[in-house]
Structure 1
Amino acid sequence: MKGVLLINLGSPDSPNPKDVKKYLGEFLMDERVIDVPKWLRTFLVKGIILNTRPKKSAKAYQKIWWDEGSPLIIISERFQKKVQERAKVPVALGMRYGSMSIQKGLQELHDQGVDEVLVVPLYPHYAMSSTETVIEKTKEEQQKHFPNMELTIVPSFYNHPDYIRVLSEKIKENLEGVDYDHILFSYHGIPERHIRKTDPTKSHCKIDGSCCNTPSKAHEFCYRHQCFETTKLVAEYLNLPEGKYSDSFQSRLGGDPWLKPYTDKEFERFPEEGKKNLVVITPAFVADCLETLEEIAMEGEEEFKEAGGEEYKHIPCLNDDDAWVKVMTRWINEWSVAKAEVTA
């Protein structure tokens, strides 16, 4: 029997410092998030970060927390429910970190008799700290607890026509009647070394002005290329004028070089260039979360206006929009039918 597991990042159980600390501990101790030797990662996370960051992060979560719970969890649950109503097979939800675990999601499917699982990492772009860690964790749980399950992984969909269409239409809808000077595509940042580590050629990704535009099998795993490609395809779909849009990367941590330009620095720069009316979209996320609701929608607007900006608009993620639900349902149903034909 076939089934589907949708997987996103996760969230603390509550916005209090104790729960945030537990969540951050699991997240930051992931070797694909902070990719240094375990002794050093343990020192950094348990010796330094978890003694200072939880209180600050808890305050940020408190600013965006809904009465029902974590926005990311609630939105993901709404999305899963809508997809389940349309899908021909069971659909479960799991998170890479937190109490809504991948193991629980697989168990839910197993209890319904599912032995063939379509795994859907809800990240449009491939990165070792998102897609890769989800895939490896799912394989680990399957091998440990569900050895008879067969897994099929949905590849990154950053350039899939369906994704580009629903993302573009979402932007178009939110641009109606808006007089803007510039659109900023703000993607979640990652350390530059992650780009080089995921390069299968070990030579193509130089993070310069040309490698992302030079065809290579490295692009299948290159987060930077995939982000730029999403922006390019959306700009073509919406016929955005050259110079009226750009890319940036947010949420950097630590002192190592991360992908540039940095979103917060762009917020400071734009008003100086006369770009006073700004629209921001966050295509690395399919569901609104701390990084979109607090960092971009709240802090971003404050930073932009402090720098001299006037009008600021954050466009929500796809969330549980019906158009996005229809796309995901179609992908699932097409897989289930194709799978049935192969096994018939």
Structure 2
Amino acid sequence: MKGVLLVNLGSPDSPTPKDVKPYLDEFLMDERVIDVPLWLRNIIVRGIILRTRPKKSAEAYRKIWWEEGSPLIVISERFSQKVKQKTQIPVALGMRYGSMTIKKAMQELHAKGVDEVLLVPLYPHYAMSSFETVVVKAMQVKDEFFPDMAITTLPAFYKNEDYIDVLSKSIAEGLKDFKYDHILFSYHGIPERHIKKSDPTKFHCKIDSNCCKTNSVAHHTCYRHQCYEMTEKVKENLGLSNDKVSLSFQSRLPNDPWLKPYTDYEFERFPKEGIKRLAVITPAFVADCLETLEEIAMEGKHQFQEAGGEDYKHIPCLNDNQDWVDVMVKWIKDWELKETLPV
């Protein structure tokens, strides 16, 4: 029997340091997130970061926390329920980190007789710290607890035409009645070394102005290329001019080169160059979360306006948008009935 496992990032159980600390510990101790030897990761995470970060992160979570709970969890549950209502096979929701574990979701499917699973990492792009770690964790859980279960993984859908269409439609709706000077596509940041580690050729990715434009098998696992590709496809779909659109990368750790340009630097630069009305899109995420609601919608707006910007609009993620639900249902049915997956 076939079933579907949707997986997103996860969230602490509450916006308190007590619950944020174990969540951050699990997240940051993931070798695909902070990819250094275990002994050094222990020093960085448990010896340094977890001494101060839980309190600061809890404060950030409190700013965005909904009455129903974590926005990411609530939105993901709403999306999952809508998908369930339009499919004939079991659908379960799990999180890579936190108490809504992948194991619990797989157990839910197993209890319903599911032995063939479509694993759907809810990330449009491939990155070792997001898409890859979900797949690796799911396979580890399967091998340990559900060895007879077969898993097929939905590929990264950053350039899928159906997805680009619904994303573009959502962006167009968000831009309606907003007279912008510029549109910034702000993607989640990752260390530059992750790009090179994910390069199967071990020589193509140089993180320069050419490698992302030169065709290569490396693009299948290159987060940077996929962000540029998605931006270009949305620009083409919406007929946006090059001078009105740019991309950047948000969230980074200090003392380590991450993908550039940095979003916060762009917020400070734009007003100096006459860009006073800014629209910001966060297409690395399918659901709004701490990084979109606090870092971009709140802190980003403040930073832009402090630098001299006048009007700022954050365009929400697709969340539980019905068009997005319909695309996911289509992909599931294609896999269920035809054994085909989107490209």
Q: Same fold (TM over 0.5)?
A: yes
CA distance in 2, matches of 1:109, 1:123: 21
Q: Which secondary structure does the structure 2 equivalent of 1:215 belong to?
A: coil
Is 2:229 the counterpart of 1:247? no
Which residue pairs with 2:112 in the alignment? 112
Which residue pairs with 1:183 in the alignment? 183
Which residue pairs with 1:272 in the alignment? 272
Note the aligned Cα RMSD (angstroms).
0.7
CA distance in 2, matches of 1:149, 1:107: 11
Aligned AA (1:51): R
Q: How does 1:129-140 map to 2 (within 5 A)?
A: 129-140=129-140
CA distance in 2, matches of 1:292, 1:99: 22
Cα offset for 1:296? 0.2
Which residue pairs with 2:33 in the alignment? 33
Which residue pairs with 1:76 in the alignment? 76
Which residue pairs with 1:97 in the alignment? 97
Cα offset for 1:254? 2.6
Is 2:313 the counterpart of 1:307? no
Deviations 1:62-93 (A, max 9, x none): 00000110000000000000000001211000
Which residue pairs with 1:259 in the alignment? 259
CA distance in 1, matches of 2:27, 2:19: 12
Cα offset for 1:162? 0.8
Is 2:106 the counterpart of 1:144? no
Q: Structure 1 stretches (4+) deviating beyond 2 angstroms?
A: none
Q: Which secondary structure does the structure 1 equivalent of 2:126 belong to?
A: coil
Q: Which secondary structure does the structure 1 equivalent of 2:242 belong to?
A: coil
Aligned AA (2:203): S
Which residue pairs with 2:51 in the alignment? 51
CA distance in 1, matches of 2:231, 2:69: 32
Which residue pairs with 1:12 in the alignment? 12
Q: Which secondary structure does the structure 2 equivalent of 1:155 belong to?
A: coil
Extract unaligned runs of 5+ from structure 1.
Answer: none
CA distance in 2, matches of 1:210, 1:282: 24
Which residue pairs with 2:334 in the alignment? 334
Is 2:8 the counterpart of 1:2? no
Aligned AA (2:48): I
Cα offset for 1:320? 0.1
Deviations 1:262-321 (A, max 9, x none): 000000000000000000000000000000000000000000000000000000000000
Q: Which secondary structure does the structure 2 equivalent of 1:243 belong to?
A: helix
Which residue pairs with 1:210 in the alignment? 210
Is 2:217 the counterpart of 1:227? no
Question: How many residue pairs were aligned?
Answer: 340
Extract unaligned runs of 5+ from structure 2.
Answer: none
